[in-house]
Amino acid sequence: MQTLRSGRTVPSVCDVAELSDEALEVYADDVAARVFIERLVELEQFDDAIAFLAHALPRREAVWWAWLCARAAAGEKPLAPVMASLEATKVWIAEPTDGHRRAALDAAELAGIGSPAGFAGLAAFLCGDTLGPAGAPPAPPGEFAAAKAIAGCINLAAAFDEKADVGARFKEFVQKGIELADRTRLWTPEPTTPSAS
Give the pLDDT confidence of 52-89 residue by residue, as tens digits. 999 999 999 999 999 999 999 999 999 999 999 999 99
Rg (CA), the chain: 17
Burial class (CB in 10 A: 0-12, 13-18, 19+), 184: middle
Question: Can you list the alpha helix ranges (DSSP code H) found in 78-195?
Answer: 80-94, 98-111, 116-125, 145-159, 166-183
Alpha-carbon distance 181 to 36, whole Å?
13
- Residue 197 pLDDT: 42
- Which of 52-61, 103-112, 137-146, 185-194 is least confident? 185-194
SS3 28: coil
Burial class (CB in 10 A: 0-12, 13-18, 19+), 140: exposed
Query: How many other CB atoms sit within 10 Å of the CB of residue 190?
Result: 7
Which residue in 167, 160, 148, 147 sits closest to 117, CA to CA? 160
Residue with the bigger pLDDT between 195 and 177: it is 177
- Residue 7 pLDDT: 86
What is the band of 6 on the pLDDT scale with cuts at 50, 70, 90?
A: confident
Domain boundaries, the chain: 59-164
- The tens digit of pLDDT for each residue in 148-172 reads 999 999 999 999 988 889 999 999 9
**% of the chain residues with pLDDT over 90:** 79
Alpha-carbon distance 133 to 105, whole Å?
12
Average pLDDT along the chain:
92
**% of the chain residues with pLDDT over 70:** 95
Helices 166-183 & 33-42 angle (0-180, nearest 10): 170
What is the band of 191 on the pLDDT scale with cuts at 50, 70, 90?
A: low
Evaluate whether 181 touches 34 at the Cβ level (below 8 Å).
yes
SS3 188: coil
Residue with the bigger pLDDT between 91 and 197: it is 91
Alpha-carbon distance 13 to 176, whole Å?
19
- The tens digit of pLDDT for each residue in 92-131 reads 999 999 999 999 999 999 999 999 999 999 999 999 999 9
